[in-house]
Structure 1
């Protein structure tokens, strides 16, 4: 592609000197709380976003003050597993340098908001002391590799889960800019040692996401990812993985060329060596064939649809040097997290705590901190934005149960609420058109009343909301999807299945709260009266409105 056709971000990456840009100079600019425009693109590769409080823009503009700038930092935690000491470090850092609020993301990690510029280096250094980093947690690279979260799903969980870290390490950028800028302040070693055969100078056209599913659970929404690995276990042995490619949730309002897409299963691989090689080469195909002129059309899903699945497979097999095998059979039977206490095959106990939309409430944070001080368990984040305390002995289970009682963390939440997800949206996300995380809990309360009215308050209907069409909370895979179009207005999408294997479809656009509630009231009443086959709500709606 010629230089003239490259998007502005491509030019910034190419001239960035290995993602360094002028970040050092930006950090030294004491006259502003933000960084230089080009550096806003580069800092994402270091796991951070430059943000401002949109709630206070008008107030500060009236006072002729610059916007209230801050930064969000997202950690790279492959598979979402950390130790008690690492949780304690995250807790302490959030209290000292952030707003105190911890957010579990839909990609199985933690992010902190409200960090001011002159404390970024100290924050990152303190994370590194606890062996935590934010390298490649954002940006046009492979991001946090996710994996089914609960060890109870398979006796081979540990073996399969280990692939998250292996793939994350394989696909890390080679540049030492992160350590140079945030840790040492000087060159770590000669630039020639940084040659990156995977990402080269311009990295990927857009972000890349990898997920590992362990049937029967699809808690990670494997088909929403650029690359999905589905573990195939037979007779107690991991035989390999099915490969799914081209999943992605993002779209743009009013642009028919953009769309959410489920991943396509292209085959099976039967060894770790082949899996790692295939993962690497799928990234190189996206690097070489992805759209670098229009970022709205640059994800792997568009590359795949433009090339065609058969041509993509041919290119992959040429690069790997081995053929894909026919896909193996598998079955998903669940997508939700397994709440409360459960025991695995090794007599270890796990406790799943419901964290609404990933925002850890103050009393939950106090509970989790006191548990961490005991140093008797690990911490596991789920892609449904919840948290698992794990690897607990029978003796230590009692100690944690006492703390559960002390902090009263076992709320009696409805199945609808436990099946709800929301992105951050306002006030910090620059892309948000509408509320999401702050609003969905209130909307769920009103929908709960409708469910109770129709005597289906125990139904586990999935509902997901985002403040824009980018799809961070995967609303296109919900039975009820709400996608923000403007303040107080949402597109209502219906008919997704309960297992993450079918996209929902547009139902009505630009609805306000009253209109949303009215539509759902009518549809839920029809569901109760007409559902003679025992379908889930999503299946009922799909059959009624979207099939002939």
Structure 2
């Protein structure tokens, strides 16, 4: 760990925060509309980002007014699993205190936007009232642990779920600050032998830390984009063990070529009883050796890149006190969310709904939010979010699913089979107007781009081709654009870098094809490559595999105009 003199500004804030308290209690009592910088950083650990409405910035400056500040709250919902009451609580809070929308994130949880500072405490308390926390939603710690969206049932899956929750508990922050600040808890007085944060210490981790679970064969959770990917191996109704891959991460800075996305590398195989301790140990290696001086190099992927996977393995083994078992070879059969009717056990049926870009709201054309509220209130299903921003209603009867489908169709909501494959495989981050890091549109831009692409694919004769398309408003990659067959990454307002060539399984990164392409030219830029794909593809070859086989440089040479 770097000494105090070399700590970055954020590290200093964490060090002086008194285990995530900062001056939040005092700041919540004043009448200002926003928090100071030190508390902004501490708030992230509590699941809160301070934002402002960027659409209003220019007008407010003209009027001599301050920015329209508001908070985004991100919950921690392990595996994205909720009951009906929990879903309805988020729905209620989004209307009482938020902007009347709910956002399913790529981390399999809900975000509420538009919360005013004066309503922040009551909103967080109300989320906790239904036994959901926001602690760990953001910040330099292990964040919401995700898994495959498929609503599997049976003893094997129950055991994996139990192990997932054990890792959640074993890697969660232990500070009492959250309860003191948001739930009116009393500050605990610890004796000298007790440690507030036995795993994290005073400065927590150098950067955010992501963990994903899945079952061998199903990579719908994109485990290779996580700091730790955990793959369950089945032995009948039992869990034979888990293969761990480590060091993945999507973030990069477009102007700094030393930053880059990275896919996780195989580390080891562990028995179920070894899982929690091994995960904790991996976290502590990153805690002690991760870069705390320069935040853009603070993710664990850069530590592994600098020291090597063998060095990292040796560090873990030394702390555990035994040699790690080599990882098992992994094979993948699917990377798609289960949508439409999904047959369960004991006569139960689940229904997977495509939620475009994860945004649940009412519009004049489609009152989706009200419709889902009515369905959840009436039928009381379980609710499961996915890392691809979709929603699955679980534990229904076939008759109930038929009634729900009828309601959805009657309101004008297309069922999964009525969407094109390219739309079903599209994702965008929120970006404008709420995200302070966005430098281009994403959620508001992708729908029209995808529909234009739908038309182009139909004209070319590729309407049924399941090509994944992901867009982000900056290079941080929250929608995982670097493992999409087509990735659009915002560079400046109205212009995007275009990436091509990832594979369907999510085990290969794409590559930069074109830079600074205006949004109106995104689809026209792709059309020549798609036509070449249609004419020259090998049998069963995906678009991403075609681009990788032909080579990005060859595509650039063929389709770059001669000046």
Q: Same fold (TM over 0.5)?
A: yes
Q: Which residue of 2 aligns with 1:189?
A: 188
Q: Which residue of 1 aligns with 2:226?
A: 225
Q: Which residue of 2 aligns with 1:371?
A: 375
Question: Could you tell me how far apart the structure 2 residues matched to 1:542 and 1:345 are?
Answer: 41
Task: Give the superposition deviation at 1:155.
Answer: 6.7
Q: Which residue of 2 aligns with 1:317?
A: 317
Q: Which residue of 2 aligns with 1:48?
A: 48
Question: Could you tell me how far apart the structure 2 residues matched to 1:248 and 1:514 are?
Answer: 30
Match of 1:466 among 457, 460, 472: 472
Question: Could you tell me how far apart the structure 1 residues matched to 2:322 and 2:151 are?
Answer: 32
Match of 1:545 among 546, 551, 555: 551
Task: Give the superposition deviation at 1:4.
Answer: 2.1
Q: Which residue of 2 aligns with 1:264?
A: 265
Q: Which residue of 1 aligns with 2:387?
A: 383
SS at match of 2:395: strand
Question: Could you tell me how far apart the structure 2 residues matched to 1:153 and 1:370 are?
Answer: 26
Task: Give the superposition deviation at 1:372.
Answer: 2.0
The 5 A counterparts of 1:339-354 are 339-354=339-354
SS at match of 1:147: coil
Task: Give the superposition deviation at 1:493.
Answer: 0.6
Task: Give the superposition deviation at 1:536.
Answer: 0.3
CA RMSD of aligned residues (A): 1.7
- Number of residue pairs matched by the alignment: 545
The 5 A counterparts of 1:298-309 are 298-309=298-309
Q: Which residue of 2 aligns with 1:414?
A: 420
Task: Give the superposition deviation at 1:331.
Answer: 1.5
1:285 and 2:289 are equivalent in the alignment: no
SS at match of 1:156: helix
Q: Which residue of 1 aligns with 2:440?
A: 434
Q: Which residue of 1 aligns with 2:560?
A: none
Deviates more, 1:198-207 or 1:321-330: 321-330
Question: Could you tell me how far apart the structure 2 residues matched to 1:80 and 1:314 are?
Answer: 34
Task: Give the superposition deviation at 1:212.
Answer: 0.4
Question: Could you tell me how far apart the structure 1 residues matched to 2:358 and 2:195 are?
Answer: 36
SS at match of 1:189: coil
1:98 and 2:94 are equivalent in the alignment: no
Q: Is the 8 A contact 1:379 1:388 kept in 2?
A: yes
The 5 A counterparts of 1:24-103 are 24-30=25-31, 32-103=32-103
Question: Could you tell me how far apart the structure 1 residues matched to 2:157 and 2:369 are?
Answer: 28
Q: Is the 8 A contact 2:501 2:547 kept in 1?
A: yes
Match of 2:527 among 508, 521, 532: 521
Q: Which residue of 1 aligns with 2:112?
A: 112
Task: Give the superposition deviation at 1:73.
Answer: 0.1
Deviates more, 1:127-136 or 1:111-120: 127-136
Deviates more, 1:392-401 or 1:62-71: 392-401
SS at match of 1:151: coil
Task: Give the superposition deviation at 1:334.
Answer: 1.3
Task: Give the superposition deviation at 1:235.
Answer: 4.1
Match of 2:396 among 381, 392, 395: 392
SS at match of 2:239: strand
Q: Deviations over 1:438-480 (max 9, x none)?
A: 1000111111111011011111100001111101000000000
Question: Could you tell me how far apart the structure 2 residues matched to 1:374 and 1:194 are?
Answer: 47
SS at match of 1:490: strand
Structure 1, unmatched stretches of 5+, are none
Q: Deviations over 1:167-219 (max 9, x none)?
A: 111111111111111121x6332155662110110000000000001132111
Q: Deviations over 1:130-168 (max 9, x none)?
A: 111101110000000001111248873232233332211
Deviates more, 1:455-464 or 1:363-372: 363-372
SS at match of 1:427: coil
1:295 and 2:301 are equivalent in the alignment: no
Q: Is the 8 A contact 2:513 2:552 kept in 1?
A: no
Question: Could you tell me how far apart the structure 2 residues matched to 1:12 and 1:482 are?
Answer: 34
SS at match of 2:360: coil
Deviates more, 1:12-21 or 1:232-241: 232-241
Q: Which residue of 2 aligns with 1:511?
A: 517
SS at match of 1:146: coil
SS at match of 2:183: helix
Q: Is the 8 A contact 2:173 2:197 kept in 1?
A: yes
Structure 2, unmatched stretches of 5+, are 555-563
Question: Could you tell me how far apart the structure 2 residues matched to 1:320 and 1:346 are?
Answer: 43
Q: Which residue of 2 aligns with 1:15?
A: 16
Deviates more, 1:99-108 or 1:363-372: 363-372
Task: Give the superposition deviation at 1:513.
Answer: 2.4
Task: Give the superposition deviation at 1:93.
Answer: 0.9
SS at match of 2:17: coil
Q: Is the 8 A contact 1:371 1:400 kept in 2?
A: yes
Q: Is the 8 A contact 1:97 1:123 kept in 2?
A: yes
SS at match of 1:460: coil
Q: Which residue of 1 aligns with 2:559?
A: none
Q: Is the 8 A contact 2:379 2:400 kept in 1?
A: no
Question: Could you tell me how far apart the structure 2 residues matched to 1:322 and 1:163 are?
Answer: 22
Q: Is the 8 A contact 2:76 2:144 kept in 1?
A: yes
SS at match of 2:217: coil
- TM-score normalised to structure 2 length: 0.94
Task: Give the superposition deviation at 1:547.
Answer: 8.9
